[in-house]
Amino acid sequence: MEMLQLSVNNLMGSIPTSIFNISPLQIMSLVLNNLSGNLPSNIGLWLPNLYAILLGGNKLTGIIPESISNASQLINLGLGVNAFMGPIPKSLGNLQLLETLKLDENNLTSGLSSSSPELSFLTSLVNCRHLQRLHISLNPLDGILPTTIGNLTASLETIYVDYCGIRGNIPSEIGNLSNLAFLNLAQNGFIGFIPSTVKQLGKLQRLYLHNNKLQGSIPNDLLCHLRNLGDLRLNQNELSGLIPECLGNITSLRYIYLDSNKLTSITPISLWSLKDLLEINLSSNSLNGYLPPQFGSLKVATLIDFSMNQFTRKIPSTIIGLQNLVKLSLAHNKLQGPIPDSFGSMVSLEFLDLSYNNLSDVIPKSLETLSHLSYFNVSFNRLSGQIPNGGPFANFTIQSFMSNEALCGVPKFQVPTCHTSSLHHLTRRLTLALYICLSIAFIILATTFVLLFIKCQRGNKTPTNVDLLPTITPPRITYQ
């Protein structure tokens, strides 16, 4: 037997020892079962012809045997999502044909020595000249990336080293991995700056550096060279300064996460030219300025979160262009003016948070047509008028409308009842009075105009008579 494929069943218990005696075996795939127990210490000696051993998604325990390096034909080693413990064997570097190494989601350690905190097993992988995929996420490695990471094979395409407790700086040598497409160093303890050498990774498609302690600005030329970048996540760091202007030139971008940093100034106008952007999150920064009319040009976007900033002025009516938007949060800003009635046309909207602003006027009744809207919050504004009660508003509570000026509606919202009939009657009376006043003013104005016209006509005849007086006066007669 050369191939054993029993993946995605409900197999339990240990892997029978007899399976490891099948020396011609080349592929063993037992992925996604409930297998437990240890791997035999001589696995590499008993199965020398293996080129793929895939045991991910089980409950296997114990250490990874050093002897696995004796299976010199091994191309694919997949032991992820188990409960393996102990150090990652440095002997893995002897697998010179290895292309895929997946050890993620275990309890593996780095085997640090007392003299060096560096992850030395990564140095041993320099010998694996065909390595393309390196996945060691979610292990308590608790060390420092060695500068030798830049000596890994140029064929390396993916590195996933997130949630590993790695500290220190990101080595600038990482820029040597010229074929890298996915780089995930998120959820660690990295400090210092983003290496400028990252701009050398021209084939990079995903850059995940979020949830670290990185500082400094986002270098403008860092992003300008990453023309294939589709997913950028630098959120939850300590980055400061401006959002690079050239971000809008990377037309391949689909996801931008820069939230929870210390970014300042306005958003670059080029950002709105990313017509294919799906998600953008700039929340929890110190961005200011206003939302331009081009805000509505992100026509395919499904998530926009600009909350916890200092945006001012009105919400542009061009927001009607965001027909695919599912989640929108503009909370905790300084926005003013009314809520645009065009929100009622955004039929995909499920989440809308406009709380903690200076919005005024009424809540548009058009929002009743948003059948998918499940979260709505306009608390802490200056809204007035009736709270709509149709459509999704039937499911909302007082938590959505707290601390506004003069809202009214049904009792469940804990606001005064709207006196719609009295208000309508008062409106009719005011309208009638206005018509009467305007009519009287028109009559007075017309009468005044006629009188002035007559007076002007009479005034024009008097000088004519005076001029003619000398011609009609009788001649003088003497006393005699």
Closest by alpha carbon to 299, among 282, 275, 317?
275
In a domain, 474, yes or no: no
Determine contact, residues 133/158, Cβ cutoff 8 Å: yes
Q: For the chain, state the CA radius of gyration.
A: 38
CB 349 within 8 A of CB 367: no
User: Residue 191 in contact with residue 215, Cβ under 8 Å?
Assistant: yes
In a domain, 479, yes or no: no
Distance CA 30, CA 20 (A): 13
Taking Cα atoms as reference points, which of 192, 226, 233 lies closest to residue 209?
Answer: 233
Q: Please give the biggest Cα pair distance in the chain.
A: 171
Residue 118: the pLDDT is 87
342 in any annotated domain? yes
36 token code pair = 């437990």
Per-residue pLDDT at 224: 85
78 - beta bridge partners? 54, 102
Contact 241, 266 (CB under 8 A): no
Predicted local confidence at residue 137, as pLDDT? 97
Q: Is residue 48 part of a domain?
A: yes
410: domain range? 288-424
- Which one of 389, 404, 424 terminates a domain? 424
What pTM value is reported for the model?
Answer: 0.84
Which of 424, 440, 457 is the last residue in one of the domains? 424
Distance CA 97, CA 49 (A): 13
Inside any domain, residue 181:
no
Tell me the CATH number at 57: 3.80.10.10
- If one counts the domains in the chain, the total is 2
Over its length of 480 residues, how does the chain's per-residue pLDDT go in tens digits?
999 999 999 999 999 999 999 999 999 999 999 999 999 999 999 999 999 999 999 999 999 999 999 999 999 999 999 999 999 999 999 999 999 999 999 999 987 665 678 898 999 999 999 999 999 999 999 999 999 999 999 999 999 999 999 999 999 999 999 999 999 999 999 999 999 999 999 999 999 999 999 999 998 888 889 999 999 999 999 999 999 988 989 999 999 999 999 999 888 899 999 999 999 999 999 999 999 999 889 999 999 999 999 999 999 999 999 999 999 999 999 999 999 999 999 999 999 999 999 999 999 999 999 999 999 999 999 999 999 989 999 999 999 999 998 899 888 888 888 875 444 445 556 666 676 777 777 777 777 776 676 666 665 544 444 444 444 556 677 766
Tell me, what's the pLDDT at 458? 60
Token pair, residue 313, equals 């002025």
Asked if residue 226 belongs to a domain, the reply is no
Measured from the Cβ of residue 200, the count of other Cβ atoms closer than 10 Å reads: 17
Q: Does residue 252 sit within a domain?
A: no
Q: What is the 3-state secondary structure (H, E, C) of the chain?
A: CCEEECCCCCCEEECCHHHHHCCCCCEEECCCCEEEECCCCCHHHHCCCCCEEECCCCEECCCCCHHHHHCCCCCEEECCCCCCEEECCHHHHHCCCCCEEECCCCEEECCCCCCCCECHHHHHHHHCCCCCEEECCCCCCCCECCHHHHHCCCCCCEEECCCCCCEECCCHHHHHCCCCCEEECCCCEECCCCCHHHHHCCCCCEEECCCCCCCCCCCHHHHHCCCCCCEEECCCCCCEECCCHHHHHCCCCCEEECCCCEEEECCCHHHHHCCCCCEEECCCCEECCECCHHHHHCCCCCEEECCCCCCECECCHHHHHCCCCCEEECCCCCCEECCCHHHHHCCCCCEEECCCCEEEECCCHHHHHCCCCCEEECCCCEEEEECCCCHHHHHCCHHHCCCCCEEECCHHHCCCCCCHHHHHHHHHHHHHHHHHHHHHHHHHHHHHHHHHHHHHHHHHHHHHHHHHHHHHCCCCCCCC
Residue 22: both structure tokens together: 């099948």
pLDDT score, position 428? 57
In a domain, 251, yes or no: no
Q: Which of 424, 443, 459 is the last residue of a domain?
A: 424
Place of tokens 């998604």: 57
